[in-house]
Structure 1
Amino acid sequence: MNNHTLPEWTDLRFFLELARAGTLSGASRRLEVEHTTVARRIDRLEAQLGTTLFDRSREGYELTEMGQGLLPHAEAMESAALAATEQLSGNEVSVQGVVRLGVPELFAVRVVAPLMVKMLQSHPDLSVDLLVLPRFANLANREADLGVMLDPPTTGRYMITRLATFRMQLYASPDYLAKHPPIRTQLDLARHDFVDYVQDRLASPELNYLTELGFTPRRRLCCTGMPAQIEAAAAGMGLIMAPPYAVPDDGRLVPVLTEFHAERSFWLAAPTDLYRLQRVRAVWNLLREYAEARPSLFMQTSEPVRPLRVGP
């Protein structure tokens, strides 16, 4: 490469999106261009740098060692470009742009989506891409700007805070309880059916909370996501462990053996460079303030979980 010929930032942006998506079609959707344009830009960048950045296969594009070496430099340029754009456009006082937020499925449906609707009504120039995933968002490949997760990153540069500690507690439908032996102690649970996660598809080891029962539960129906588990338990399939925010307040599920619970924590994380952006911090702060103000979403109380509203 000619020492005086530097890669164009736009080519590096194509490089970043292909590295994150892993396929031409995925990168083209994120960049809103034809997949042939992505391929052409990558070919040009490799020719300019005189090296191969991706291994091509039928499965997709995977970074070579040289590509891995370029990645942090391209991300640093992206961060500087985002920060400069935000500052120059006055976004330090007006929240503008798009924020990609990764959230577990049921938490997104019951808590975050209604909350984002209220927030967006107050910020007409802000948009949110809510990644409702059966797993936790991959912040390392910039799949999301910030994410709610059970296992925060342990390496890399991230801002991390505990969003909430929640209790997984036992619930069952009144119909199930009426047709099965009474539950007075934890030992009685061994005679009952359970609804749980598919054990070899857990998004995190933290979801393996039924091990705390002290025996191997009789799992009659397992689902990869909690929304299906809730519906199955509400239909009378068996007992379920769930946090209060996940349980509908229509009487289809009622608490069982309230002294038994498993405690877990949700963490909020964002790459340090993205956390500096005003729009990312606005979403971050709203999630924190909302979680702190509504402990009944996370710990069972005598009060039912009310319809969600932003503000007092």
Structure 2
Amino acid sequence: MNILPEWTDLRFFLELARAGTLSGASRRLEVEHTTVARRIDRLEAQLGTTLFDRSREGYELTEMGQTLLPHAEAMEGAALAAAEQLVGAEVTAHGVVRLGVPELFGVRVVASLLASLLRDHPDLSIDLLVLPRFANLANREADMGVMLDPPTTGRYVVTRMATFRMYLYASPEYLARHKPIHSHADLVHHDFVDYVQDRLASQELSYLNELGFTPRRRLCCTGMTAQVEAAKAGLGLMLAPPYAIPDDGRLKMVLPGFYAERSYWLAAPTDLYRLQRVRAVWNLLREHADSHPELFMHEAPEPSMQL
């Protein structure tokens, strides 16, 4: 190889690797798909190797493409960090941060929380991805994410944001129409609202399977927002963290002290975590979780009955 590849060609390589299709990469880069194809052809010619396997389904990295990927990501991170330092971004965060969060957590907690951060950083913008699943950091769908399953491979910074507890709730109307609940054994006679089991965003959401019996699921939803509304309508019991329950009296806790425990994790690619704008959002979420434990768990009376 007589000439080094241009950084812009490596950007095209990265976006195609993340999107998997020419059309997806072209949207990210705001160019025509033919431009993406031409840049990839040029890069492969310069490197003297094939970086992608082409098929009708899209573009998939070859072994050599996988080898190039972390080096291109490191160059991207260095370029972003350099740009921040040149404009003095070590003092104030600027630019756009794409934050992926679980649906109801994003609506009830994160959206309003971001207001103070944006007031303090007038040049910062947030793309809040409120999802019924967890953001895919590997293809850079988001710059950082809140998730139940942190990445275990690859170059990521990961930290536990909060441990939370899922308590049993039901509407007063449902409780008035059904048998009293005094103990765990009474639950077998009741209806439940849950996630659609073959559409779970994480196996960590299969907490009802830990009850010790097969629950009678009357309504299953792909997101917790719909589950809360269904439970308020009297369709059954549901498990939810405190932040998910509106303070309007339409849902009451059942069997205080009975809960399923999980953890939320913050994760970001290492190169993006170095950016001031990403760390500003990261620190905000960490500090808010630390200072508001009531969002994630109640003080359970003894003895507690963990699933």
TM-score band by shorter chain is over 0.9
* Pairing partner for 2:179 from 159, 171, 181: 181
Residue 200 of structure 1 corresponds to: 198
Residue 258 of structure 2 corresponds to: 260
Residue 71 of structure 2 corresponds to: 73
Deviations 1:167-221 (A, max 9, x none): 1000111111111111111111100110111112211121111123221111111
* Pairing partner for 1:142 from 137, 140, 143: 140
* Pairing partner for 1:233 from 231, 234, 242: 231
Distance in 2, matches of 1:19 and 1:31, equals 13
Distance in 1, matches of 2:282 and 2:294, equals 20
* Pairing partner for 2:127 from 126, 129, 149: 129
Amino acid at match of 1:18: L
3-state secondary structure, aligned to 1:259? strand
3-state secondary structure, aligned to 2:180? coil
Distance in 1, matches of 2:25 and 2:228, equals 35
Distance in 2, matches of 1:145 and 1:187, equals 45
Q: For structure 1, which segment, 91-100 or 42-51, has the greater mean C-alpha deviation from structure 2 after superposition?
A: 42-51
Matches within 5 A, 1:224-303: 224-300=222-298
Distance in 2, matches of 1:44 and 1:156, equals 28
Residue 111 of structure 1 corresponds to: 109
Distance in 2, matches of 1:110 and 1:165, equals 17
Amino acid at match of 2:80: L
Distance in 2, matches of 1:116 and 1:58, equals 41
1:36 Cα shift? 2.3
1:34 Cα shift? 2.2
TM-score of the aligned structures, taking structure 2 as reference length: 0.93
Matches within 5 A, 1:2-81: 2-3=1-2, 5-81=3-79
Q: For structure 1, which segment, 29-38 or 75-84, has the greater mean C-alpha deviation from structure 2 after superposition?
A: 29-38
Residue 310 of structure 1 corresponds to: none
3-state secondary structure, aligned to 1:160? strand
How many aligned residue pairs are there? 300
Percent sequence identity over matched residues? 81
Residue 221 of structure 2 corresponds to: 223
Matches within 5 A, 1:148-163: 148-163=146-161
Contact 2:102 2:130 in 1 (8 A): yes
Distance in 2, matches of 1:57 and 1:235, equals 48
3-state secondary structure, aligned to 1:200? helix
Amino acid at match of 2:133: R
Supply the RMSD in Å over aligned alpha carbons: 1.5
Distance in 1, matches of 2:47 and 2:132, equals 38
3-state secondary structure, aligned to 2:145? strand
1:166 Cα shift? 0.6
Q: Structure 2: 5+ residue runs without aligned partners? A: 301-307
C-alpha distance 223-119 of structure 1, shift in aligned 2 (>3 A): same
3-state secondary structure, aligned to 1:130? strand
Residue 162 of structure 2 corresponds to: 164
Contact 2:199 2:222 in 1 (8 A): yes
1:67 Cα shift? 1.2
Contact 2:73 2:271 in 1 (8 A): no
Q: For structure 1, which segment, 42-51 or 111-120, has the greater mean C-alpha deviation from structure 2 after superposition?
A: 42-51
1:301 Cα shift? 5.7
TM-score of the aligned structures, taking structure 1 as reference length: 0.92
Distance in 1, matches of 2:11 and 2:124, equals 22
Amino acid at match of 1:244: P
Amino acid at match of 2:20: G
Distance in 1, matches of 2:99 and 2:127, equals 6
Q: For structure 1, which segment, 68-77 or 35-44, has the greater mean C-alpha deviation from structure 2 after superposition?
A: 35-44
Amino acid at match of 1:278: Q
Deviations 1:92-114 (A, max 9, x none): 01111111211111111111111
3-state secondary structure, aligned to 2:298? coil
Distance in 2, matches of 1:251 and 1:29, equals 46
Amino acid at match of 1:108: G
Distance in 1, matches of 2:75 and 2:272, equals 12
Distance in 2, matches of 1:240 and 1:60, equals 41
